[in-house]
A = this chain, B = another copy of it.
């Protein structure tokens, strides 16, 4: 039996999450894709950089915006290994990202399908399409292993 292969964009986000874990950061990775090519990527790094805003999504969005020379990532997609928090969901709105695909849900800190539900209010001036569950098991395993080792 062959397991359905995870698309390359989410595979790269999962690899970035593993890189975060090796650096002692909570394993979350993200990439921004435009017309099939990765134009920005990032991994969780708040501890190492002393930057509370250094989430994977923020890093990927900032890198993509620099690459395009535009604060708006119109027509771009974001792939991330965990449901975005309120901060990252807000950044996704500001960047006008067309579609967000995340792997695992995050009932404790998520703000897409949980809590603040940032995309579901008129104050979100842009509402991306949202897809969840792609690479869910792989992402959840990385997070479980990370927190198990630290207990």
Contact = CB atoms under 8 A, between A and B. Distances in A.
A62 B110 CA distance: 22
Contact of A50 (B50, B71, B110): B71
In this complex, the interface size class of chain A, counting residues with CB under 8 Å from chain B, is: 35 or more
A133 to B, nearest CB: 19
A24 interface: no
Contact of A47 (B50, B71, B117): B71
Given A116-B116, A116-B117, A118-B116, A86 B53 contact: no
A86 B52 contact: no
A91 B39 CA distance: 24
Nearest to A69: B50
